[in-house]
Chains A and B, each alone.
Chain A
């Protein structure tokens, strides 16, 4: 049975969302959960739910990283935080994966330095799933694990992103593209041109460059870019969804006619909301660290936590990290001659 360490103190709704999500996961997914956090708090929350017979255990951690802690300080000064303890459980082989909806920067730093990176991976990358027009998802990476990336690292992101897509969405030959400012090869900056040249040499199904507006079109499955651009793309999209929702609400309330219209089309609105709700996708994996790591949104509810645990267990079962090491190590060794 796959064992997953869940940071019980991470998100905005911790520990309630984490505990409820863990119970759902243990019941539905056949995984064993280690809930990591301040023992008394977690135990109290757990006692409010029926969890008899489920494979859930509590592991005590005496400190908590808050959303306002800086990643480097949280990493160095809060060694007994739930994130550190959970990461050490993975490092020491007591759990296979780490799930946290806590401070993203801090979780990334702790995971990267406590777990270390996989052989042949220079830098880990954070991968986010975007819903697209083809009723599927498009994965973009890196969306913020790094600020500056080299072309060689973008090449590694492509290999990792492609394996991730195959594993979770089952597509045999995912289409991989590079985010740039035009489809033509000559467009872009020095980094994208060098990255495109490298990507063409790999035997990935590399379909060329795409623009920002193609993200939601659904013609490609995996989009790679440096973490600076990826993070901006992610935040603009999240902001847009949030604000369009608010603007719509305001417009609907402005007249009786539009309120009636809303009631009539409520199903459509609900299904749209479900498609754009990040809790359906269960968080973003930090690819390339030694031990599966899934970082949920701070706002994660129980469903989001359960889905993050589901993604974590699927990656563990498919031996995801071994696949990455296999592919990247062959290239690195052969190139040495």
Chain B
């Protein structure tokens, strides 16, 4: 992934180069040619996605697009923060490499799990987690859409929650193939280690307001951004509320920047009235630019 961006846009190519020199190895090679297995390792996935997303953003920015808000899902909050100028890309790519490593090491393999619960409201899922916990950890981890919540915790408790959810009328409740239980209390060791790194990193005032995962509220200072990234490791990703906050603030057009179109699909589930485009390579950049021009023309002549 990302090869097309690097080949077509010098500002994207510069991002890949910066990532390689910050990390001391070629994440570019992992992005372009890496095996699925290599890309699946959390400590590679995170810098790879941040690099490709930032490369895509630089290409979009070059076209003169300046967003009114930025936000990112979990790891994506780092991409959003780089876009907003809150942290330097080279620092961010090192942070997420460490973040991936810490998260992976926080819980021994096999002890944690995550599951998707579809067709129940976030509150219903939270109640189910309470019932299923039995002194172990299980809690909502990704509040993705009105009908899609991902839970996280110790393997046995997640399994119990899945069973209760199935009996309580969930359309689907499925264990997900992930390597560790992200965004729950079991991640506390990772949060402490990452906090140390985050405090040693320079954060700047944001040029674009960022909606945080932890509070679904706009922030503008570097200190707030750092605090949000620390708490984010053990807290649920409030994606549904973040999107709603932006829509309430008047946002009608969203652009997903980075590999894949997962958030684009999610947005359509949250609100069908907003428009969503994505940018992950030169083809999607071109079509998004065309559609953005159309959207603007429509706004001008109501």
Binding site for B on A (CB under 8 A): 117-120, 150-152, 198, 201-204, 322-323, 325-337
A330 and B150 contacting across the interface, CB-CB below 8 Å? yes
Chain B 148-182: CB-based contact to A (< 8 A → 1; otherwise 0): 10101000000000100000000111111111101
B9-17, B201-209, B241-249, B260-268 - interface stretch: B260-268
A sample of 22 inter-chain contacts (CB < 8 A) reads: A118-B265, A119-B261, A119-B264, A198-B177, A202-B175, A202-B177, A322-B269, A323-B171, A325-B265, A326-B145, A326-B148, A327-B116, A330-B118, A331-B176, A331-B177, A333-B73, A334-B152, A334-B178, A336-B45, A336-B74, A336-B76, A337-B46
B66 to chain A, nearest CB (A): 25
Please give, as numbers and ranges, the residues of chain B lying within 8 Å of A201 by CB-CB distance: 175, 177
Please give, as numbers and ranges, the residues of chain A lying within 8 Å of B269 by CB-CB distance: 322, 325-326
Please give, as numbers and ranges, the residues of chain B lying within 8 Å of A150 by CB-CB distance: 36
Binding site for A on B (CB under 8 A): 36, 40, 42, 45-46, 49, 73-76, 99-100, 103, 114-116, 118, 141-142, 144-145, 147-148, 150, 152, 162, 171-180, 182, 260-266, 268-269
A330 and B142 contacting across the interface, CB-CB below 8 Å? yes
Q: Which residue of A lies closest to B187 (CB)?
A: A337
Docked CA distance A265–B89 (Å): 77
Q: Classify the secondary structure of A's interface with B.
A: helix
B36 and A335 contacting across the interface, CB-CB below 8 Å? no
B93 to chain A, nearest CB (A): 15
B262 and A120 contacting across the interface, CB-CB below 8 Å? yes
Please give, as numbers and ranges, the residues of chain B lying within 8 Å of A151 by CB-CB distance: 36
Q: Which residue of B lies closest to A324 (CB)?
A: B265
B294 to chain A, nearest CB (A): 12
Please give, as numbers and ranges, the residues of chain B lying within 8 Å of A204 by CB-CB distance: 174
7 further contact pairs, Cβ within 8 A, besides A120-B261, A334-B150, A336-B49? A119-B265, A151-B36, A202-B177, A203-B175, A326-B172, A331-B176, A336-B76
Q: Which residue of B lies closest to A331 (CB)?
A: B176
A333 and B262 contacting across the interface, CB-CB below 8 Å? yes
Given contacts A119-B261, A120-B260, A337-B75, A330 and B175 within 8 Å (CB-CB): no
Please give, as numbers and ranges, the residues of chain A lying within 8 Å of B141 by CB-CB distance: 334
A252 to chain B, nearest CB (A): 51
B261 and A331 contacting across the interface, CB-CB below 8 Å? no
A334 and B182 contacting across the interface, CB-CB below 8 Å? yes
A333 and B150 contacting across the interface, CB-CB below 8 Å? yes
Q: Which residue of A lies closest to B96 (CB)?
A: A337
B119 to chain A, nearest CB (A): 8
Given contacts A152-B36, A329-B148, A119 and B116 within 8 Å (CB-CB): no
